[in-house]
Amino acid sequence: MSLPHAILTALLEKPSSGLELTRRFDRSIGYFWSATHQQIYRELGKLEKAGLIRALPADSPTRGQRKEYEVLPSGRAELERWVEGRDEPRDPRDPLLLRLRATGVVGVGDGLISELRRHRELHAARLAEYREFQQRDAARGHGTERDRVHGLVLQGGIDLELFWVNWLDKAIDGLDRPEPAEQACGPTT
């Protein structure tokens, strides 16, 4: 039940068309809640039918025509209600942890190790990207509440990527050398 609210948030930040939303989901919001354009179009349709958003009057109402949406008061109310509610934490559901665990019974192979390395690099890249955002935001100053909230969310993204990079390093190291002995040699990379 999060996608519609993610869309309401995005539309409140700036009225947009379906494809625009899709692009914005690829950036900021999508970093912790991705969505395909099909999901977004479908959800826009539902939200419009539910009277939470409306399409801005356009020239022609035909298909393949750009259609911009804005949030109606009832949509904002619904978002406020949802934000103030309660909701249990979800479990991580990351297949990589499962795959690592499976090596406990089928044995560790090279494929998984290189996969761990690959993921490490992907997370490191994303971490670098987030840190650029952070620096850019810090330069522009952050007076408004919205800026501070975005800063906290971004910090969450950074900390999460940090977790991944650090843990993957531990895991790669732990699988590479079977014995946790006191070999003081440097890393193989």
Partner DNA sequence: CTTCATTGTGCAACTTGTTGCATAATGAAG
Partner DNA sequence: CTTCATTATGCAACAAGTTGCACAATGAAG
Q: List binders of its own copies among 23-82 (CB under 8 A).
A: 29-34, 76, 79-80, 82
**41/167 with CB nearer its own copies:** 167
> Which residues make Cβ contacts (< 8 Å) with residue 3, sequence separation at least 6?
33, 35, 39, 40, 43
- Cβ–Cβ < 8 Å for 49, 61: no
Give the CA radius of gyration of the chain: 22
How many CB atoms are located within 10 Å of the residue 75 CB?
Answer: 24
Q: Which of 92, 141, 186, 187 lies at the binding interface for its own copies (CB under 8 A)?
A: 92
- Note the residues at the interface with DNA (CB under 7 A): 1-3, 17-20, 34-39, 41-42, 44-45, 60, 62-67, 93
Footprint of its own copies on 143-172 (CB under 8 A): 145-146, 148-153, 155-156, 159-160, 162-164, 166-167, 170-171
Q: Which does 104 bind (CB under 5 to 8 A by kind): its own copies, DNA, none?
A: its own copies
Taking the complex as a whole, how short is the minimal distance between the CB of residue 65 and its own copies, in angstroms?
A: 28
Q: Which does 20 bind (CB under 5 to 8 A by kind): DNA, its own copies, none?
A: DNA
- Cβ–Cβ < 8 Å for 18, 41: yes
Q: Find the distance separating the first CA and the last CA of the chain, reported in whole Å.
A: 44
